[in-house]
Structure 1
């Protein structure tokens, strides 16, 4: 097991870029560099060299720093096959369940389509770290731009089966609005009530609400809780409704929230 260092960079209005540094080898990867300058500044401050870019999907607010970082550092860009032709500067195309070595650490590639057709999550199993882009957010999930509800639910269901101690490093700071929405569906959930208060406190102090843990999400994120009787009652769905149908109804409500 490698003790990776994870540096969280807040960029643009509400994006997070992550630097993953494996200290034994000195290898460093950037996850979803929306812009290059803050990444280069952070690397220079720490004396790190960028070896890899791990893209979760092709959207510009996740890839616009790729080409400049590649030009300056000579790093290798890695992405999932389904989005490969739309990821700037991609060098290496990976498939579901492939492994990528980041020095002494290993990232497993999880195909989680729905937000885009080729969305990847990067799971560092030994380090209990999941970099999930726009598939799973703190108290939320991504919009269905290229997939349907059934596909997205399968992706989320896959993620929710990871160990609950997994730290969830999502790509956006959307948690405050997500909490407000979640409370409209499951107002009687005491864990959600407490988490919403914590989120409010953190944001008032200008602090991030990310990462969370998967255990937090399983207890409070309405997109991962189709078994909740309160959510089903709010949606007018009985116990016989499939989980994907519950998810679709929740996603539809959030789209209009």
Structure 2
């Protein structure tokens, strides 16, 4: 069937009560990355109109397969009905969805929800911290009292950060340009470096794609078109994959930025690196 025929057929699904449960499942399948972006959007638009408790669970079931742009739309849909909001919070509570995968905008909506129970549950979920990482960050607070050497920091940047970040015209555009965070407090930089999964933009989530030919690729989704996705790996190289060639696309729930940099960067090294970033 042509894409036009598919779009017309999608608009008819879920209208009859007798077939609604089956149609919700069909629409959920259409959200898979093998389908073009317009077809995915049409299926989501139709699901949003169906007042059925099964819809929330259907949207959550495919979460790990959604690209960043579709995730934003799905989160907005889930927040549109109270029952689906409860499903979303349940998924975060159980670990099916990482709290950091929910954008700050959507977190704010949950924290300001009209229902007090929702506000309280969201407050607990989004305040949760990795205790080991938190202790590590506290141990690195000494950085505030050390003197940094920007020249040594430049060498550390080139060894450890340049593959994924740009700074002062050097590096790759995989993660954020470090020049944009140069004016942030030291505490904020320590969290970003030592506990990268505490909070990050959804566009920096690491995905793994498996093609029908058996290739396995990993990286952030740098671009999406109706018929393809572009994965950018940690070295900055882009790989375009046709949706029709995709066997599977899953998110790791984690930032592409790795944990464990404390094994390489001791407090004085961290001080030097931050001095270079802020120079």
TM-score (norm 1): 0.30
Higher relative contact order (CA 8 A, sep 6+): 2
Q: Which has the higher strand share?
A: 1
Greater C-alpha radius of gyration? 2
Q: Which has the higher helix share?
A: 2
